[in-house]
Structure 1
C-alpha cells in the first residue's frame, strides 16, 4: 500500500515538474504483426466500400436522369466521397499520432 502511494506521488511529482512521461514500446512482435494485418485488411475493405459506394451512387444518378427525376443524389455522393476521404486519411493520422 505504501509502495503504491509512493509510485502515485512520484507520478504526480513528475507531472507537476513539467516532465512528460515517455512510454516505451514493448509490445510483442507477434501481436503487432497481427494488429497490422487486421488494420491493413480493414483499410482495404474501407477502400472497396468507398469505390462500391461511388459506383452505386453513379448508377443511381444515371437511372434517375434517365427517368427524368431530380438530382437528389448529389448529397449522397458528397457523403460517400466524405467517407472515402475519412477512410483514406485515417491510417496516416493514426500513424502520425502514435509514432
Structure 2
C-alpha cells in the first residue's frame, strides 16, 4: 500500500513540474479511418443544416416583410449564425487542442 501511495505522489510531482503527459495512440487504423469518416459526414451535415437554416430564415424574413409584419426573425437568424460559427470552429478547435 505504501508503494502505491509513493507512486501516486511521484506522479503528482512529475506533473507538478510542468511536464505534459503525451499518451501514445494505439487505436487500430481501420477504427480511426471509420471514426474520421463518420466525423466528416457529421461536419458536412452540420454545414448543410446551417446553410439551410440561413436560407429558411431569410425566406421567412422576406415573407414577413412583404406582409408588413415585424422583424422577429432577427433573433432566429442570430441563433442560426451562432450555430454555424459553432459548427465551423468545432473541428479546428479540437484539432488545436489534441
- Scaled by the length of structure 2, what TM-score is found? 0.86
2:60 aligns to what?
60
| Residue-pair matches, total | 98
1:14 aligns to what?
14
Provide closer, same or farther for how the CA distance between residues 33 and 4 of structure 1 changes in structure 2, counting only shifts above 3 A: farther
1:48 aligns to what?
48
CA distance, structure 1, for counterparts of residue 16 and residue 63 of structure 2: 64
Provide closer, same or farther for how the CA distance between residues 59 and 17 of structure 1 changes in structure 2, counting only shifts above 3 A: closer
CA distance, structure 1, for counterparts of residue 37 and residue 69 of structure 2: 44
Provide closer, same or farther for how the CA distance between residues 66 and 18 of structure 1 changes in structure 2, counting only shifts above 3 A: closer
Name segments (4+ residues, structure 1) moved above 4 Å: 1-7
Correspondence list, 1:1-99, <5 A = 4-5=4-5, 7-98=7-98
Q: Could you tell me which runs of 5 or more consecutive residues in structure 1 were left unpaired when the two chains were aligned.
A: none
